[in-house]
Amino acid sequence: MSVLVRRSALTLAAPPNQSTLQSKCSRIVCKPTKAYALPNFQMVCNVALIGVGLVGSSVVSQLSSPSLAKIFKIISLSNSKHTLSLSPSSPSLPAAQLLSLLPSSSQPLPTTCSHPGATYSPAVPSTLIKDFAAAARQSKTSTILIDCTSDLSVTELYPIAISSGLSVVTPNKKGFSSSNQLWEKILEAQQAPGAGLVYLEATVGAGLPIISTLRDLVKTGDEVTKIEGVLSGTLSYIFNEFSKPGGSGGKGQKFSEIVKIAKANGYTEPHPADDLSGSDVARKLTILSRLLSASPSSLPSLPALPEGYASLSTETLIPAALANIATGEEFVAKLPEFDGEFDKLNAEAEAAGEVLRYVGVIERETGTVKCGLQRYPSAHPFASSLSGSDNIIAFHTARYSTRPLIVQGAGAGADVTAMGVVADAIKVAERTGVRVHL
């Protein structure tokens, strides 16, 4: 969902008087009719994509689908070392063939390409953005910069890109959850004449409509009093397995065993401590808090979060003795030494008929923005409705006061994240004048 995009004022001319209106109507009736001129819609939207990993590759595949290939023209693909540039007039290619033209970052930069209109250059994002902006102004074609990296340095270029007329669509959380200084620059860039749009749905819930739901609530005048949710697919899986409704009587899997399985199945980062630190949840919570704070409200203000996610109260699940373990393998090998601590927490929750969940919470009345372990009754949706690595988020509002508005589903994975990115790209295309028929 777009972030604080400036809306142009619509000025209506004063209505003509009755006699003038009747005279004009008479002339319209008497004169031969002329063909109605349709608005000057764009036919295509250019896309420059940085970061061609699992999510980026899936974005390319989805943009190349039959329903979207006529709407989006991919003009550039970049990894950490190389950029493949394609002339907007060159023929489009199937996703697999297009991706095959970009060599991996470990390979040398090619000097020629068999595809007509394709060239190679070193990947320098700042130069690419300036070139894309200049080309967009010259061709008067909407251009979307899709950032599928997790690189902070790329997000630091967003203000330049946006103020130059490029729209930004991204699942990269870092630009919106780091320092308040960068956040403010991104907001200010949207005030520039001809500024591009910004869509970041996939930063919080992958393909889940979390940011768009929040925006719809506040823009229609609802008061959001509290947001709480399981926002990490990894931590969702771990605690869905470790702390189940009804309990296990101490006979369930150990915490360390579940983390080991999660790592083996690719649910965690290569170093599980990156997930157990809670930083991913803190970044997502920072984004939601900033978006919520940007809308007028009669409720108390939320914390300013000057250092972004680092300003949050974040409970880490990393045992202190393992805080400086360098490798994921060593971390998993030593984690069983601390199973007793997690067993104790789980037993206390079971005795109260509750489960453990790692959640993020924003509460307007108390000005609270925090993430950590919380206990929920076994009948609570966070306990009974979750399975696997699902995310779930509850919006408590003035309208949804009796029962919260709940969004639930897969919150991770390349294909669903790419879906969130592509859906945002479609919104940009529609808002910049491309006719989208799906």
Q: What is the C-alpha to C-alpha distance for residues 361 and 371, in angstroms, rounded to an integer? A: 6
Low-confidence ranges of the chain (pLDDT < 50): 1-39
DSSP code string of 74-121: EEEEE-SSEEEEE-TTSPP--HHHHHHTS--TTSPPPS--SSTTEEEE
- Residues designated catalytic: 284
Backbone angles phi, psi at 94, to 5 degrees: -60, 155
Give CA 275 to chain center in angstroms: 18
Write down the pTM of the prediction: 0.87
**pLDDT score of 438:** 60
**pLDDT score of 159:** 97
**pLDDT score of 42:** 67
Beta-strand pair 118-122/82-86: antiparallel
DSSP 295: S
Q: Which of 138, 203, 190 is nearest to 160 (CA)?
A: 190
Q: Determine contact, residues 141/166, Cβ cutoff 8 Å.
A: no
Residues whose CB is less than 8 angstroms from the CB of residue 373 and which lie 6 or more positions away in sequence, other chains included: 315, 317, 345, 356, 357, 358, 359
**pLDDT score of 80:** 94
From residue 155, give the alpha-carbon distance in Å to each of 17, 207, 266, 293, 296.
Answer: 54, 20, 26, 21, 27
Give CA 227 to chain center in angstroms: 17
